Amino acid sequence: MGRVEGKVAFITGAARGQGRSHAIRLAQEGADIIAVEFAKQVDSVAYPMATPDDLAETVKQVEALDRRIVATQADVRDYDALKQALDDGVAQLGRLDIVSANAGINTHGPLDELPEQTWQDVIDINLTGVWHTAKAAIPHLRADGRGGSIILTSSMAGLKAIANTGHYTAAKHGVVGLMRTLALELAPDFIRVNSVHPGVVNSPMVMNPPTYRLFRPDLENPTADDMAGPAQALHALPIPWVEPVDISNAVLWLASDESRYVTGVTLPVDAGWFVK
Amino acid sequence: MTGRVEGKVAFITGAARGLGRSHAIRLAQEGADIIAVDLCQQVESVPYPLATPADLAQTVKEVEALDRRIIATQADVRDYGALKAVLDDGVAQLGRLDIVCANAGITTFGKLDVLSEQGWQDVIDTNLTGVWHAAKAAIPHLRAARSS
C-alpha cells in the first residue's frame, strides 16, 4: 500500500525538474497525476524552458509505474486555461486530493536595473500562477469532504533575501503570505496548506549558464563545477546542491496523511542554508 | 533648532491623505522638503473611496504652512514611466533626494478561492509592483546624492 494510494495529485510545471520528480515520487506511492506545463519559452527567461517532449517523458515515466496521468499544456498565468485543464483531469481521474503548485521561472538582475517585463513575468508566474493553481483546485478539494493537501513551492528566497533576484524573492515571499492565508481559510474543510523552500537544487531551472554566472561573475564561461564551491558555502551541510527527489520526499510527506495535522508550515529542504 | 531631517528631500507615494499625508507633515515638521505623489482616482476593485485631488491639495497646504517646499503630482505607481518622470521633475526642482517612503497602497477583500482576477491584480500591481517602481525610480537619485 503506497503512502498516497488511490489519491489524485495536480502538479504544475510537471514536465521536468522538481515537477517531474514530484509526479514520479507520488505515482510510486500510488497516486494518479494531473500534470500541467507551459512547454513554451518565456522571452525574459535566459535558459531553455521545458518542451512538449519533456512533458511526454513525464507521462511515460508515470505510466511505467502503472499509474494514470492526464497531461496538458497550459499557462499558470491564464486562470481559465488552467482551470479547464484541472477540471478535465478531475473529470477523467474522478477526484482531487493533492496540489503541488510548483511551476516557476528564475531570472536575475539588480532591482534598480530589472526590466519591467522581467519583473512582471516572475510575479505573474511565481506568485499569481500559484494563486491560480490553488483557486482552481479548492472547489474540487472541497467537493467530496475528504479534505486535502496543498503544497506551494516557495524557495529559500521566500525566507531570506538573495541579491540579484529581488523580483523572485518578492514573489517567493508573497507565496508564504498566500500559503498562510490559505491555511487559515481552508482549515475548516480539513484542507492543509504548506510551503516547501528548496535551497540550491540540481534541476534545469538552476543548472544553467545564467545561474553559473550569478555564482561566478569572475569567470567568462563558468560551469556547474565552478558553481559548486560558492553553492556549498551557502549550506551548513557540506554539499553544493540537493536533488529534485529531496524536495519530492518533503512534498510526499506533506501530501500524505502522515502530516495530517500539519498546516501553515514553511518547510526548508535546503541543506541548512537558512540557519547558516 | 535644526530638524531631525533638516534640509533633506523626501519622496512619498500615496501622499494625499492617511499615512502618506501624515508622513509628509511629520517629515516637513522636522525640516524636509517633499515630493508627493498620489493617484487621486478611483480603482474599480477598491470598495472604499480613494483619495482625490482635493486631498492632495490639502497635503500641499499643510506642508507649505510649515514653510517647507512641496512638489505634488497626480501619478500612478503602476506606471513606472509616469512615476519616474514625476520624481525626476521633483528632484530637478528641489535639488536632491534623501528619503523614500513607498507608502501608496490599496486594500480589497475576499477569500482566496473567490477573489476576482482584477481584485488580485490591482493589489499586486499597486502594493508590490508599485513599491518596486518607487524604489527603482529613486535609487539613481539616492546614489547620486551619496557621490556628490
Residue A218 distance to chain B (closest CA, Å): 25
Candidates A82, A113, A116, partner chain B, best to mutate (most B CBs within 10 A): A116
Instruction: Inspect the interface and report whether the beta carbons of B135 and A128 lie closer than 8 Å.
Output: no
- B22-51 residues touching A, CB cutoff 8 A: none
Residues A218-253: pLDDT tens digits?
999 999 999 999 999 999 999 999 999 999 999 999
Measured between CB atoms, which of A114, A123, A166 is closest to B124?
A123
Q: Which of A47, A168, A212, A261 is catalytic?
A: A168
Q: Which string of b and e fits B5-39 if b means at least 16 CB within 10 Å?
A: beebbbbbbbbbbeebbebbbebbebbbbbbbbbb
Q: What is the pLDDT of residue A72?
A: 98
Closest residue in B to A142 (Cα–Cα): B113
For residues A176 and A158, the answer to whether their CB atoms sit within 8 Å is: yes
Whether B147 shows a pLDDT value over 80: the answer reads: no
Residue B31 distance to chain A (closest CA, Å): 28
Closest to A22 measured CA to CA, from A38, A5, A34, A40:
A34
Contacts with B61 (C-beta within 8 Å, 6 or more apart), sequence order: none
Instruction: Inspect the interface and report whether the beta carbons of A178 and B112 lie closer than 8 Å.
Output: yes
For residues B23 and B31, the answer to whether their CB atoms sit within 8 Å is: no
Beta carbons within 10 angstroms of residue A216's beta carbon: 17
- pLDDT-based confidence at residue B148 (cuts at 50, 70, 90): low
Measured between CB atoms, which of B112, B132, B140 is closest to A131?
B112
Closest residue in B to A140 (Cα–Cα): B113
Is residue A134 less than 8 Å (CB to CB) from chain B? yes
Instruction: Inspect the interface and report whether the beta carbons of B132 and A167 lie closer than 8 Å.
Output: yes
Could you give the percent of chain A with pLDDT greater than 90?
A: 99
Q: Whole-model pTM?
A: 0.95
Q: Which string of b and e fits A131-151 if b means at least 16 CB within 10 Å?
A: bbbbbbbbebbbeeeebbbbb
Helices (H), A123-234: 129-143, 166-186, 209-215, 224-234
With contacts defined as CB-CB under 8 Å, which chain B residues touch A128? 120-121, 124
Residues B50-109: pLDDT tens digits?
999 999 999 999 999 999 999 999 999 999 999 999 999 999 999 999 999 999 999 999
**How far lies A98's CA from each of A109, A185, A274, B71, in Å?**
34, 17, 27, 53
Q: What is the pLDDT of residue B109?
A: 92
Is residue A191 less than 8 Å (CB to CB) from chain B? no
Closest to A26 measured CA to CA, from A50, A58, A51:
A58
Residue A75 distance to chain B (closest CA, Å): 15
**In the predicted model, what is the mean pLDDT of chain B?**
96
Instruction: Inspect the interface and report whether the beta carbons of B140 and A135 lie closer than 8 Å.
Output: no
Residue B55 distance to chain A (closest CA, Å): 30
Size (chain B), residues: 148
Residues A80-123: pLDDT tens digits?
999 999 999 999 999 999 999 999 999 999 999 999 999 999 99
Mean pLDDT of B21-34: 98
Q: What is the pLDDT of residue B51?
A: 98
Sign of CA dihedral A14, A19, A25, A31: negative
Instruction: Inspect the interface and report whether the beta carbons of B139 and A111 lie closer than 8 Å.
Output: yes
Instruction: Inspect the interface and report whether the beta carbons of B112 and A120 lie closer than 8 Å.
Output: no
Is residue B57 less than 8 Å (CB to CB) from chain A? no
A168 tagged catalytic: yes
Beta carbons within 10 angstroms of residue A266's beta carbon: 17
Residue A135 distance to chain B (closest CA, Å): 5
Candidates B136, B141, B142, partner chain A, best to mutate (most A CBs within 10 A): B136
- B79-118 residues touching A, CB cutoff 8 A: 80, 111-113, 115, 117
Q: What is the pLDDT of residue B1?
A: 63
Q: What is the pLDDT of residue A144?
A: 83
Instruction: Inspect the interface and report whether the beta carbons of B135 and A112 lie closer than 8 Å.
Output: yes
Residues A20-62: pLDDT tens digits?
999 999 999 999 999 999 999 999 999 999 999 999 999 999 9
**How far lies A55's CA from each of A26, A58, A67, in Å?**
16, 5, 16
DSSP A40: S
3-state secondary structure A71-124: EEECCCCCHHHHHHHHHHHHHHHCCCCEEEECCCCCCCECCCCCCHHHHHHHHH
Packing angle, helices A129-143 and A166-186, rounded to 10: 20
DSSP A193: E
With contacts defined as CB-CB under 8 Å, which chain B residues touch A78? none
CA A126 to chain centre: 9
Interface ipTM > 0.85: yes
Instruction: Inspect the interface and report whether the beta carbons of B112 and A174 lie closer than 8 Å.
Output: no
